[in-house]
Amino acid sequence: MKQVLIAEGLVSSLSASPRLIGARCQRCDALSFPLLSGCARCGSEDLQAIELPARGRLWTWTSQEFLPKSPPYTGGESKETFKSWYVGYVDLDGLHVEGRLVGFEERTPEIGEEVELTLIPFGIDGNGDEVMIYGFQPVGLVEEN
């Protein structure tokens, strides 16, 4: 089974050091994620794709306590196997990016703590491939070699 990203253009790669792909408007300097065809602030179509920082600070968070409706949700859980998860907004140099929070099984997240980008399994697609999504985990959760 191979790993595939849930959508093209969100993450630089499936490597050990993935980065989110955002954009910087060349007219007004606004940052955005995901990469869009036009600037939400000024309407310019002159956007430069950039890799966003891999680390940031947790701006706010909440928990998902029930199985989301399907469609559009396509995770592999059922009502019987669903386990709640945390979701938060992470401040990446002034841009707040929403994502799942992982690595908090023993405690709750803390606003302001440093987190880093990670890829996490989401489910299996129709080809039998493991679909990966991005998320954020506490810095230092996995030892670096």
Whole-number Å distance between alpha carbons of 82 and 26: 43
With beta carbons less than 8 A apart as the criterion, state whether 27 and 42 touch.
yes
Q: How many CA atoms lie within 13 A of 124 on its CB side?
A: 5
> Would 110 be classed as within a structural domain?
yes
Task: Assess if residue 85 is contained within a domain.
Answer: yes
Which of these ranges, 35-39, 45-49, 75-79, 116-120, has the smallest mean pLDDT? 75-79
Give domain status of residue 21, yes or no: no
Q: What is the pLDDT of residue 74?
A: 83
pLDDT beyond 60 at 144 = no
Range of the domain at 120: 54-138
Residue 23 belongs to a domain: no
The predicted model gives 62-67 an average pLDDT of: 94
pTM given for the model: 0.89
Q: Is residue 111 part of a domain?
A: yes
Q: Alpha-carbon distance 104 to 110, whole Å?
A: 10
What is the spatial distance between Cα 138 and Cα 129, in angstroms, rounded to a whole number? Answer: 27
CATH (domain of 130): 2.40.50
CA distances from 97 to 2, 20, 55, 67, 101 (A): 27, 10, 11, 22, 12
Handedness of CA 51, 60, 62, 86 (dihedral sign): positive
pLDDT (tens digit per residue) in 123-138: 999 999 999 999 999 9
Number of domains in the chain: 1
| Lowest-confidence region among 1-5, 62-66, 75-79, 136-140 | 75-79
Asked, for residue 128, whether it belongs to a domain, the answer is yes
Please give the average per-residue pLDDT across 69-95, as a whole number.
90
Quote the pLDDT of residue 76.
Answer: 79
pLDDT at 141: 78
Residue 91 in any domain: the answer is: yes
Say yes or no to pLDDT of 145 above 50: no
What are 117's two structure tokens? 């980008």
81 burial via Cβ count (<10 Å: 0-12, 13-18, 19+): exposed
In a domain, 109, yes or no: yes
16, pLDDT greater than 60: yes
Q: In this predicted structure, what is the pLDDT of residue 30?
A: 96
